Structure 1
Amino acid sequence: MKKPLLSVVITVYNEEENIKPLLEATYEALKEIDYEVLLVEDGATDNTVAEVKKYANDRTKLIIFNKNYGQTTALAAGIDMAQGIYIATMDGDLQNDPTDIPGMLKKAMDEEWDVVAGKRANRKDGFVLRKFPSKIANYIIRHSTKVYLNDYGCSLRVYKAEIAQNMGLYGELHRFIPVLAKLEGASMTEVDVKHHPRIHGTSKYGLSRTFKVMADLILMLFFQKYFQRPIHIFGTLGLLSFGVGVLINLYLLVLKIFGEDIWGRPILLLGFIFLLGGIQLITTGIIAEIIIRTYFESQEKKTYKIKSVYQGAVKE
C-alpha cells in the first residue's frame, strides 16, 4: 500500500463539541495533500467517539483507548500507527489551527528539517494560569537542555516519520518531545503559528503540572548527559556524600578528643536523613524509569491498550 505523504495525529479527550469543526477545518486545510488523520480518543466520558464516527471521512482512523492514559501515551499510539512519510501532531481543542500544517510541511520538505515546531505567536490563554507558568517552564527547559525553542508547550509540530517513531514516548514527556528528537540527532526549526481561544470544553492543564514538568526535566537532563555514563552522576554524588561524611566524622573526632559529648546531636541526624533520603529518592526514580523502558522496549510492549479502531466511511 502506498504511504500517504502526511499523517496528522490528533489527541482528543472529552471534546465532543469540537469534533465537527475540528474535522471540517482539518479536511479543508489538507485538501491539496495526500494525507491520513488519526484521532486518538483517550478514554473520553462524553460523546466524542460518536461525534468522530459521524463526521470522519475515509482517510480518518479513530483509535479508542479502554481508559484515560494521558496525552503522551495518546500521542505515542497515534505516531506508532501513522503510515505517512511525515507526521504532524496537534491538539483536538481547536486552539491549534490546521491551516498552518501545509506551510510547516513545505518548510520541512524544502529545507530538509527533521522537525518543524510551532510557536504560538499570539497566544490566547490566561496569563496567570497558563502563559506565566509556561514562560517560566520554557525558559528553564531551554537553558538547561540547550535545545533552544521558544514554545515547548505548542503541540503543533511536523516531523519526519523516522524521527517521531523512534523517540520513545513514556510517562508525560510530550512537552519534552523536542529534547527527545534532539537525542535522536534531529535538526529542527521553529515557525510562528496561529492560536485560538478555547470555545468549547475545559482545559486539562493548570499550575499543578509545573511540578510534574520539573520532575520530568530532571529525567531529560539525565538522558542528555548521563544515560550512557551514569557513574559520572552517581559516582560524583557518592564521592561528595562520602567526603561530607568524612569531614563530619573528623570534626566529631576532634570534639571527642577535647572531651565533648557528640552522641545524639539532632542537626547531625537530621542532615544525614535529608541528604541520604534525597539521594536515594532521586536515584530510585531514575533507575525505575530505566527499568520501565527496558521492560517495554525489550519485549516490544506498548504502554497502552487499544479497545478498537474505527475507519471512516466514504462520504457521498
Structure 2
Amino acid sequence: MDVSIVVPLFNEDESLPELCSWIENVVNANQLSYEVWLVDDGSTDNSWEVVESIHRKNPHFKGIRFQRNYGKSAALNEGFKAAQGNVIITMDADMQDSPDEIPELRRMILEDGYDMVSGWKKKRYDNTLTKNLPSKLFNAVARRSSGIILHDFNCGLKAYKKKVVKSIEVFGEMHRYIPILAKWSGFRKIGEKVVEHRPRKYGVTKFGWQRFVNGFLDLGTIMFLGKFGKKPMQFFGLLGTVFFLIGFIASIYLIIGKFALPDFALTNRPSFYIALTTMIIGVQLFLTGFVAELVTRNSAERNTYLIEKKLQ
C-alpha cells in the first residue's frame, strides 16, 4: 500500500465529508493505493455516524472510536498501530491542513530519503497573541533542547516512513514532540516542508493554555526518558551525591568550628540545618535512583531495543 493517512478528530462532523472527499480526489488523481484511518477521540457530536457513512461509501476510509476523550496523542498512537502503508501521513480534521500536500510529502519520504517530514505553516490565519506567542516560545525551547531545527513542531501535517511510527509510542501531549521521539529512536533524517495553512471553515479551535503547560511537562519527560530511561541511577545518583557532599562538607566545617571555638553556637545557626537538609535530600535522591533502577531492571521491556538490521 502506497500511503496511510491518519486523521485524529474530535467533534468534526461538519468538516469530515468535505475533507474525505478532498483526500479521495487527491489520491485517485495521483493513482495511489491508500487507506485513511479516522480516529474519533470520543466525539460528542455526530462525528462517528459520519465516519460510518463515509466507510459504507468507500471502504478505504476506516474508523476507530474511543469510548471517551483521551487526547490527540492517544488517537495518533492507535492510528499508527493500525496503519499499513509504506508512508504514513497525519493531518488534522478541521480543514486547516491541505490534502494537496500529500503527494509531495510522500515523494520527500520515498525519493529524498527522509525518515519523517514535518510541515511548517509559515503563513498562518490564526495570528492571535494567545496562540502564536506561546507557540513560538514552545518551538524555540524544543529546538534548543533537542537539536532538531524545525520551525513548527506542533504542525499536524507530517509524513513518516512506516518503520518510524512502528518504533515510537505517543501519549500525554507528546504528539507535538514526535520528531524528538523519532530522533531518540534513531531516525535522524528529519526534514521540513512549508505547507498551506487554511482558514478554519468549520467548528472551533480546541486550543487552550493547559495544552502548553502539559506540553512543556511532556518535553521534560521526553528529554529525561531519552537520556536516562534505561539508566536512571546515573541521573538521581549523581544529583544525590552532589547534594550529599555539599551538606556533608558544610557540616564538617561547622563541627570543626564548634571544636575550635567553645562558645560557637552550632544549633543556633541556620547553616547547620541547611546542611542537614541538603544531606537528607541527597540521600533521598540516591534512594530514588535505586528504586528507579529496581523498577527498570524488573520491567518487561528492560532489554528491549530497536534493532534495524540483524545478520544470522
Residue pair 1:37, 1:60 contacting (<8 A) in 2 also = yes
Work out the CA distance in 2 between the residues paired with 1:142 and 1:46. Answer: 37
Secondary structure, aligned partner of 1:111: coil
Matching residue of 1:44: 43
Q: 1:240 to 1:92 in 2, by over 3 A?
A: same
Residue pair 1:145, 1:224 contacting (<8 A) in 2 also = no
Offset from partner CA, 1:283-309 (integer Å, 9 cap, x none): 979x88x969x87869xxxxxxxxxxx
- Are 1:259 and 2:256 an aligned pair? no
Work out the CA distance in 2 between the residues paired with 1:72 and 1:240. Answer: 37
Deviation at 1:262, TM superposition (A): 3.8
Matches within 5 A, 1:106-121: 106-121=107-122
* TM-score between the two structures when normalised by the length of structure 1: 0.82
Secondary structure, aligned partner of 1:83: coil
- Are 1:131 and 2:132 an aligned pair? yes
Deviation at 1:280, TM superposition (A): 6.5
Secondary structure, aligned partner of 1:263: helix
Matching residue of 1:311: none
Q: 1:205 to 1:246 in 2, by over 3 A?
A: same
Instruction: Please give the root-mean-square deviation of Cα atoms over the aligned residues, in Å.
Output: 3.1
Work out the CA distance in 2 between the residues paired with 1:171 and 1:278. Answer: 30
Give unmatched runs, 5+ long, in structure 2.
303-312
Answer with 1 or 2: which has the greater Rg: 2
Matched letter for residue 256 of structure 1: K
Q: 1:128 to 1:265 in 2, by over 3 A?
A: farther
Work out the CA distance in 2 between the residues paired with 1:15 and 1:201. Answer: 7
Offset from partner CA, 1:109-143 (integer Å, 9 cap, x none): 11121111111111222332211111111111111
Work out the CA distance in 1 between the residues paired with 2:280 and 2:129. Answer: 37
Q: For CA contacts below 8 A with separation 6 or more, give which structure has more relative contact order.
A: 1
* TM-score between the two structures when normalised by the length of structure 2: 0.83
Matching residue of 1:156: 157
Q: 1:297 to 1:254 in 2, by over 3 A?
A: closer
Deviation at 1:206, TM superposition (A): 2.0
- Are 1:8 and 2:8 an aligned pair? no
Match of 2:16 among 15, 19, 22: 19
Q: After the TM superposition, which parts of structure 1 deviate over 4 Å for at least 4 consecutive aligned residues?
A: 264-281, 294-298
Matched letter for residue 207 of structure 1: W
Work out the CA distance in 1 between the residues paired with 2:257 and 2:5. Answer: 69
Work out the CA distance in 2 between the residues paired with 1:92 and 1:279. Answer: 50
Matches within 5 A, 1:63-142: 63-142=64-143
Work out the CA distance in 2 between the residues paired with 1:264 and 1:19. Answer: 71
- Are 1:234 and 2:217 an aligned pair? no
Deviation at 1:247, TM superposition (A): 2.9
Pairs aligned (count): 293
Residue pair 1:167, 1:180 contacting (<8 A) in 2 also = yes
Match of 1:225 among 210, 216, 227: 227
Match of 2:218 among 216, 219, 229: 216
What fraction of aligned residue pairs are identical, expressed as a percent? 34
Secondary structure, aligned partner of 1:195: coil
Residue pair 2:4, 2:85 contacting (<8 A) in 1 also = yes
Work out the CA distance in 2 between the residues paired with 1:279 and 1:47. Answer: 55
Matches within 5 A, 1:144-183: 144-183=145-184
Deviation at 1:270, TM superposition (A): 7.2
Work out the CA distance in 1 between the residues paired with 2:210 and 2:280. Answer: 27
Matching residue of 1:185: 186
Offset from partner CA, 1:163-219 (integer Å, 9 cap, x none): 111112232211110011112222221110011222322222222222212211222
Matched letter for residue 25 of structure 2: E
Residue pair 1:72, 1:172 contacting (<8 A) in 2 also = yes
Work out the CA distance in 1 between the residues paired with 2:283 and 2:20. Answer: 49
Matching residue of 1:306: none
Q: 1:183 to 1:94 in 2, by over 3 A?
A: same
